[in-house]
């Protein structure tokens, strides 16, 4: 399709938005060097790129301070409490994705089981996990993420 010119208006936060930006939100960016190009492959390295830069698995599967947004837990060890939308007082807790043999949720999963779970989509009604977008990932993308998760430091929760 031919490109379409679409001028995006400049973002202008209101007073409250400026106060929140100035005093409460601390922007986060990449923790390492950003690759200039990425070659899709079934490798832990590509899985790391997908998990950290595309899918943002770390954003929910690492505990965070709800006031600052800072990560306060071990990477991918779960424990992040998320409110269930529309059900005050109810919350979900993210799972430990590290390869800990006792508390790692996917420790005993094969690549096939990992992929199968993503293909099933949302099974728990109140889960905030964004299953829908993962249906668009290829099996090779999911294999790469699986390989990356298996390289993480095991964290017992």
- Per-residue confidence (pLDDT) for residue 28, from 0 to 100: 61
Domain residue spans in the chain? 40-151
Residue 116 has pLDDT above 90, yes or no: yes
* 108 burial via Cβ count (<10 Å: 0-12, 13-18, 19+): exposed
Q: Are 91 and 83 in contact (CB under 8 A)?
A: yes
The predicted model scores a pTM of: 0.78
Q: Are 47 and 145 in contact (CB under 8 A)?
A: yes
Q: pLDDT per residue over 96-109, tens digit each?
A: 999 999 999 999 99
Q: Are 152 and 104 in contact (CB under 8 A)?
A: no
Instruction: Give the H or E element holding residue 93.
Output: strand 91-93
Averaged pLDDT of the chain: 89
């Amino acid at each position: 399709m031919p490109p379409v010119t679409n001028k995006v208006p400049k973002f202008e936060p209101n007073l409250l938005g400026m106060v929140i930006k100035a005093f409460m939100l601390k922007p986060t960016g990449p923790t390492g060097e950003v690759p200039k190009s990425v070659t899709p492959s079934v490798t832990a390295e590509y899985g790391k790129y997908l998990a950290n830069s595309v899918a943002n698995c770390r954003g929910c599967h690492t505990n965070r301070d709800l006031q600052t947004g800072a990560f306060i837990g071990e990477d991918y060890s779960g424990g992040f409490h998320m409110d269930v939308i529309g059900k005050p007082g109810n919350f979900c807790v993210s799972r430990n994705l590290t390869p800990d043999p006792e508390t790692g949720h996917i420790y005993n999963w094969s690549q096939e089981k990992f992929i199968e779970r993503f293909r099933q989509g949302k099974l728990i009604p109140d889960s905030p996990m964004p299953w829908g977008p993962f249906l668009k990932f290829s099996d090779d993308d999911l294999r790469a993420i699986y390989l990356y998760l298996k390289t993480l430091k095991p964290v017992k929760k």
